[in-house]
Amino acid sequence: MPTALGRNKVTRLLHVARTSPSLGGPALTLALNAIKALTLDTRLYEETYYQYRQLLESLAGQTGDEADSNATAWLEQSGAKDHPEPFDREWVEQSKHEAQAGLDRLEIELKGYLTNLIKESIRVRFLSPPPRDSLMRVKLTRVHHSQMGHRDLARYQYRTGDLQGAVRSYTKSREYGSTSQHILEMCLGVIEVRARLSLAFGDAPDLDLIGRIYPHPGGDRHVELRLHPHLRCES
């Protein structure tokens, strides 16, 4: 999933910036460019830019033995000392507009899927039903669309940085999961977002959430086998 890969790239660059003072400058510079190229997360961009400017001020104030030679060399060679990366206000405004427009579109689509599903249930209950096999195909198609609607909304919220909203949307998709692949996608999505939340707030991933939305005893063996390595890595 391109969005997930992009988010992972940003996360790794920010980790390098936090843990390696010598590489903080180039890592934050790359992170700023990656955020703009791969996400619509304006809040993360603003926070990263603030870290970038703080780093420049810190490096400019270092003298003598306290100075990191590698970091100082980057500051001089990159030109960041006299010409730091500018804050891209135009990108921030465009991304906020694009994020809201995309969110509105996906919510309208999801409401349409849910409305059609409700209408179908009413028609089957009170009106003359069509042949059973035809009815089953229609119902499964609309349930699948509802599941996809919640999933697409979760992925978009993840791209814009609304991680709590993404968890809620992934969890709601559980109600409409009709196959083991649907359940697997939902669980992996929740693991991905919870891992990002734990990095953002310094907490351990709330993997108990997976147990609450997908209890393992008696569950689908295919899903359990695919989930086990991810749960083990995140814990």
Task: Provide the domain limits for residue 53.
Answer: 2-87
Tell me: do 51 and 103 sit in the same domain: no
Tell me: do 199 and 96 sit in the same domain: yes
- Spell out the residues 6+ positions from residue 82 whose beta carbon is closer than 8 angstroms to its own: none
The residue among 61, 87, 113 that closes a domain is 87
Q: Which of 18, 22, 25 is nearest to 53 (CA)?
A: 25
pLDDT digit string, tens, across residues 112-135: 877 766 665 555 555 545 555 544
In a domain, 193, yes or no: yes
Tell me: do 94 and 199 sit in the same domain: yes
In a domain, 132, yes or no: yes
DSSP state, 95?
Answer: H
Tell me: do 58 and 114 sit in the same domain: no
Give the CB-side neighbour count of residue 113, counting CA atoms within 13 A.
Answer: 22
- According to the model, what pLDDT value does residue 1 have? 41
Q: Are 135 and 124 in contact (CB under 8 A)?
A: yes
Q: How far is residue 73's CA from residue 182's CA, in Å, rounded to a whole number? A: 51
Query: Side chain identity at 182, as an amino acid letter?
Result: H
In a domain, 56, yes or no: yes
Q: Are 40 and 46 in contact (CB under 8 A)?
A: no
- According to the model, what pLDDT value does residue 23 have? 93
Prediction pTM value: 0.70
Ramachandran assignment for 161, one of left (phi > 0), alpha (psi -120 to 50 degrees), beta (any other): left
Tell me: do 98 and 118 sit in the same domain: yes
pLDDT digit string, tens, across residues 182-195: 777 777 888 888 87
- According to the model, what pLDDT value does residue 36 have? 95
Tell me: do 197 and 103 sit in the same domain: yes
The residue among 20, 53, 87 that closes a domain is 87
| H runs (alpha helix) in 40-131 | 42-61, 69-78, 89-126
| Lookup result for tokens 């042949």 | 131
Residues of the chain with pLDDT under 70: 1-6, 63-65, 116-147, 176-179, 198-235
- According to the model, what pLDDT value does residue 170 have? 84
Ramachandran assignment for 64, one of left (phi > 0), alpha (psi -120 to 50 degrees), beta (any other): left
